[in-house]
Amino acid sequence: MSRRPVIAGNWKMHNLQQEAMDLTNGIMQELRSEDKAALPEVVIAPTFTALYAANKALTDCGCGKVKLAAQNCYFETKGAFTGECSVEMLKDAGCEYIIIGHSERREYFGETDEMVNKKAKAILANGLIPIICCGESLEQREAGVTDYHIASQITKALRELSAEDVTKSIIAYEPIWAIGTGKTCDSIEANRVIAMIRNVVKGLYDANTSDAIRILYGGSVKPSTIKEQMAQSDIDGALVGGASLTADSFAQIVKGAM
């Protein structure tokens, strides 16, 4: 089955509104000569306060080559949840995708597999696409429990989701030890883990569902690594961190995935 690649840039806690608008415009300028149909799905995820500015830049351009994502959400529709943003609010801000379960959310803010599952359900119910993150720590890798840990994360994150909803979703494998460290998981090993994730989805659903879902690699992705990663059988794109903060490097990654 042919799966359209996805390149998503997670800006994390960077960029004020003008900086976000400038970076968004810079990315679109870098991609201006590329055929929209030939591009992967290109997604940027600014921080909450910069969503309006980035969306304005995308709307003003009107080229449709770049889509907007949020870095997190809350699963309740509304209420006394100070500091949170609902999926409906993020959809209203122009988001089409939402990243959930990122290792930093899990480590620093106590996000659990159960919360990820609730968020995935809320995102899909609102017609948006969840980018569901999973991954192992260095300690878990060295203990030989990588596959078990990630299989458990995926099983819990997809609990009670229909096969149709799963095919609309995106999974991102991010080895925690390779995020922001400059270390990159070997492409062959990354592909092995992603193929394992696909097999977990097959066991939970069926072959059609596992063949359809896009699974990305995330962990110090750079222009110099993307072609080798995309040459693997099961890697469908990348969740990019630091390299998404400059238009040139992010555009090079996008072009490398074509």
* CA 9 to chain centroid: 8
pLDDT for 181 equals 72
Dist CA 192 CA 56 (whole Å)? 40
142: Cα within 13 Å, side-chain hemisphere: 5
Summarize pLDDT for 9-66 with one digit per residue, the tens.
999 999 999 999 999 999 999 999 999 999 999 999 999 999 999 999 999 998 899 9
Does pLDDT of 123 surpass 90? yes
Could you tell me the two tokens for 54? 């980035």
- Report, as residue numbers or ranges, the catalytic residues: 102, 174
Does pLDDT of 116 surpass 80? yes
CB 176 within 8 A of CB 141: no
Could you tell me the two tokens for 3? 């799966």
Residues facing 69 on adjacent strands: 97
Helix axis angle, 146-157 to 113-125, nearest 10°: 40
Summarize pLDDT for 242-253 with one digit per residue, the tens.
999 999 999 999
The chain-wide mean pLDDT, for the chain, equals 96
Q: How confident is the model at residue 234 (pLDDT cuts 50, 70, 90)?
A: very high
Residue 172 identity: A
- Consecutive H or E run containing 256: helix 247-256
C-alpha R_g of the chain: 17
CB 233 within 8 A of CB 195: yes
> Mean of the pLDDT values across residues 206-224?
95
Closest of 32, 4, 54 to residue 71, by C-alpha: 54
pLDDT for 68 equals 98
Residues 6+ apart with CB under 8 A from 131: 8, 43, 69, 97, 98, 99, 100, 169, 170, 171, 172, 216, 239
pLDDT for 1 equals 58
CB 34 within 8 A of CB 255: yes
Could you tell me the two tokens for 40? 């992967």
Could you tell me the two tokens for 176? 């925690």
The structural domains of the chain, ordered by start, are 6-256 (3.20.20.70)
